[in-house]
Chain A
Amino acid sequence: MPDTIAVDSGDTWTVAGRSFRSRLIVGTGKYKDLEETAAAIKASGAEIVTVAVRRVNLSDPGAPMLQDFVDPKVYTYLPNTAGCFTAKDAVRTLRLAREAGGWNLVKLEVLGPPPHLYPDMMATFEAAEALIKDGFEVMVYCADDPVGAKRLEDMGCVAIMPLGAPIGSGLGLTNPAMLSMLIEQTTVPLLVDAGVGTASDAAIAMELGCDAVLLNSAIAHAKDPIRMARAMKHAVQAGRDAFLAGRMPRRMGADPSSPLTGLIR
């Protein structure tokens, strides 16, 4: 068989003018330590990693930092706005991130309260508007709401990232039909962000036609995060290939794979 079947190296996706081969974006939170973070990210094959911006612990200035383990020259850092509840906080946080790293590509997330942490769409609209005005390229976490998602796209967000299920829940894609409609209507990259629990969830997201998948807990909270990172890498590739291959139609009855003719008598 030709090698092109095994790896389609030309199958890239592009966000805000930057092209990537890996369709898996991984978070860097919730790991046991920075060594495990680095090993899991490497195993996942991800080229983009999400990061948070927080106050430096001034009582321990020599503590190891994320950059020492996850090299920003190797991985594209995607700073997030986790913990921001207003447009003002989101803009302040990402301006600091831009100064710390010097890039404009960011992940906007404005969340409601526990236990759902559901996207606060009104606050998300406000923050997206402020960030775009400030020169940021905004990949936006949002509800699986086609009306709200369209509005975010029209505002100029560079990627639409609906949740599959609540953050950290691992419940998988709870509304694949709505995700399909979002994929259908969206002309910028569409990523499932949040909810993926295991490899098959990531594969399903890719089979639906998502451009990429963003996840964190599914790897970090697996019993063996490194192995799960590898599983996710393969699942995303498998799901992408299945999407490109085009699945067979479902049918209500059997259809034998072996011919019914030529049987011995």
Chain B
Amino acid sequence: MSGLTITLNGEPRVFPTPISVVGLLEALGLDARKVAVERNEAIVPRSTYAQTLLESGDALEIVHFIGGG
């Protein structure tokens, strides 16, 4: 199986290729409506999750809202 290595929230992770942002969120078990995704320090608009394919070496941040003051 071919795979790609990305840095996900600071940790290296390997995923089967090809994989889109939608595929990644599904693989992680995350609800796309409740998170936001940054790829290589640029926002990935929610409307483009399906067509955004990840590449080896990408750095992704997946965030959500938590309690804060």
Contacts and interface: CB of A to CB of B under 8 A. Distances in A.
Interface of A: 27-31, 34, 37, 50-56, 58, 61-62, 65-67, 77, 79-80, 82, 92, 95-101, 167-168, 194, 216-217
Interface string B19-39: 000000000111000111110
Contacts of B63: 53-56, 96, 100
Nearest to B30: A61
Nearest to A34: B67
B68 A58 contact: no
Interface of B: 8-11, 28-30, 34-38, 41, 43-46, 61-69
A27 B34 contact: no
B67 A27 contact: yes
A28 B68 contact: yes
Nearest to B42: A95
B65 A52 contact: yes
A79 B67 contact: no
A66 to B, nearest CB: 5
A27 B9 contact: no
Given A27-B69, A34-B67, A55-B10, 10 more contacts: A27-B68, A37-B67, A52-B65, A52-B66, A52-B67, A53-B65, A65-B34, A65-B65, A92-B38, A95-B38
Contact of A100 (B28, B29, B65): B65
Contacts of B35: 56, 100
A67 B38 CA distance: 20
B64 A58 contact: no
8 contacts: A27-B69, A28-B68, A29-B69, A61-B28, A61-B30, A99-B45, A100-B65, A217-B69
Contacts of A28: 66-69
Given A56-B9, A56-B30, A56-B62, A99 B43 contact: yes
Nearest to B13: A58
A58 B65 contact: no
